[in-house]
Chains A and B, each alone.
Chain A
Amino acid sequence: MFWSACKFNNGNKVLPIYGSREAVTKVVNGQKVTDTVYQTIPAFSYINQYGDSITNKNLDGNIYVADFFFTTCPSICPVMHRNMLTVFKAFKDTTGVKIISYTIDPGHDSVPVLKKYADKLGISGNSWWLLQGHKNETYQIAKSYLVSVQEKNGQGEYIHDGYFILIDKQKRIRGTYDGTKPEDVNNLIADIKVLRAEPVAPAAK
């Protein structure tokens, strides 16, 4: 019966885990154990707006929100970052919550350009990093965030998704939100609170 799979909604929201997954069977203490291995964000190495090297290790133990943008974007980036600013203001004094924005135009968006952008946006401190790295690496890592980005088209425009991706401490994808819609971004803020309250499961071995 289908309905029997539905659990009573007791108000305790649990966020889903997105991405591909596979069942891995191992022998532990002589017993066969099957575990689900979820898609995670792979290792990366970037430079932030302060010129500091930032890798996946700098995000260990953090919940974070990621997006992809470029500073000269005339279309959706301003509205995305107007909305991301709401997320920033909600959590800037909360340890363990970070925001990272990968530039998809690293040729133009150098460290000083990113710093100037951050200053004008009114963000300071270390809770929102703007990251510059190798273009190919960024395009690859976008896929692991389930975000689509493409090279410049004939009109010199980059076509890219305006999604905000919520990543948990185990680097798994726990939510995707349309960064151009304020109501979606309110859901993101609520989900970050849910995720922060989630008991940390023992890491899959």
Chain B
Amino acid sequence: MKLKIIFGISLLLAVLIVSCQNEEQLEFTHYYSSGKLTYQTKCQNCHGANGEGLQGLIPPLTDSAYLKLNKATLACSIKHGLKGKLTILNHSFEGEMPASDLAPVEIASVLTYITNSFSNKLGTITSQQVETDLAKWK
């Protein structure tokens, strides 16, 4: 009897853990796939299908260290644009990225796509996280 209860509880726990993971996985997949579409229409012309950028004109999105270090300001850069000097993968870039009219949820999904593609792996960036970051950085 005791054994049965223990077995039952652990089964329940296992199911909960798996479904929890599934939910996280599901959220990631949801953000990632809609982010891919946004990327293709809003980012790809300049940054390229593989995030390769364009020579010395447009920086690539393959600098995982830069993305990790600047994770909190990425949303702000997408919303308000970016201007001035930038060092990406030891190359210096200058120029301007235009501001965008993307909603926080779109910024979250496109960031999830970028930071988990092109050999980057930073996990899901949620809409709530973007809202928090946007409130903090201007």
Contact = CB atoms under 8 A, between A and B. Distances in A.
Interface of A: 72, 74-76, 78-79, 81-82, 85, 117, 119-122, 180
B56 A78 contact: no
Contact of A121 (B44, B45, B57, B98): B57
20 contacts: A72-B96, A75-B45, A76-B45, A78-B54, A78-B57, A78-B58, A79-B44, A79-B45, A79-B46, A82-B48, A82-B54, A85-B55, A119-B56, A120-B56, A120-B57, A121-B54, A121-B55, A121-B56, A121-B57, A122-B55
A120 B55 contact: yes
Interface string B1-15: 000000000000000
Which of B44, B55, B56 is the most central at the interface, judged by chain A CB atoms within 10 Å of its CB? B55
A124 B117 CA distance: 32
Interface residues of B, number: 11
Nearest to B58: A78
Looking at chain B's contact residues, the main secondary structure is mixed
Given A72-B96, A78-B54, A78-B58, 9 more contacts: A74-B46, A75-B45, A76-B45, A79-B44, A79-B46, A82-B54, A120-B55, A122-B55, A180-B45
Contacts of B44: 79
Contacts of B98: 74
Interface of B: 44-46, 48, 54-58, 96, 98
A92 B18 CA distance: 57
Which of A78, A79, A119, A121 is the most central at the interface, judged by chain B CB atoms within 10 Å of its CB? A78
Contacts of A72: 96
Contacts of A120: 55-57
B101 to A, nearest CB: 11
A78 B53 CA distance: 9
Nearest to B48: A82
A82 B44 CA distance: 11
Contacts of A122: 55-56
Contacts of A78: 45-46, 54, 57-58
The 10 closest A-B pairs by CB, nearest first: A120-B56, A79-B45, A78-B46, A122-B55, A120-B57, A74-B98, A121-B55, A78-B54, A82-B54, A78-B45
B40 to A, nearest CB: 11
Contacts of A81: 54
A183 to B, nearest CB: 13
A30 to B, nearest CB: 60
A117 B95 CA distance: 11
Contacts of B56: 119-122
Nearest to B57: A120
A119 B80 CA distance: 28
Contacts of B54: 78, 81-82, 121
